[in-house]
Amino acid sequence: MDSSYDEITRAMAAYFDGFYNGDVDLLKTVFHPHCHLFTASDGPLQDDDMATVYGRVAGRPTGAAINEGRQDRILSIDKSGPESALVKVNIAIGAKLFTDYLNFLKIDGRWQIIAKVYTYVPLAVARAEAAE
């Protein structure tokens, strides 16, 4: 039986918990050190390395600290081989609902995010659209 979906799901739990709790050490277990995050949501291409991402996570109030309800879920896992997968998720952070496309590779026996492309909408807009 293919256990990789369970392994990816466990990695995603660390991803969601790490962002919610502002736990940089936990996030480091799922992001490859050379990973970059890309978006064009605010105009020109933004390319952040992990040091930048970890600094941003450490510098903001956590969802757990402000008792913010969690809104995170895996939308799809598309495995293209024994060592590669694309995972699409939603995660709410602050006033934004993000859609993340996470490129995973299985390196040294564990699934790691090697690139992330994301976009977002204001959380209030997402909730209004869901209610329609």
The answer to whether the CB of 106 falls within 8 A of the CB of 26 is no
Q: For position 3, what pLDDT does the model report?
A: 87
Torsions phi, psi of 16, nearest 5?
-65, -45
Helix (H, G, I), strand (E, B) or coil at 67: coil
pLDDT for res 36: 98
Q: What is the pLDDT along the chain (132 residues), one digit of tens a residue?
A: 578 999 999 999 999 999 999 999 999 999 999 999 999 999 999 999 999 999 999 999 999 999 888 999 999 999 998 999 999 999 999 999 999 999 999 999 999 999 999 999 998 888 888 888
Per 3-state DSSP, what percentage of the chain is helix, strand, and coil (rounded to 5)? 30, 45, 25
| Domains of the chain and CATH, by start | 4-131 (3.10.450.50)
Report residue 62: phi and psi, to 5°: -85, 155
Looking at residue 130, its pLDDT comes to: 81
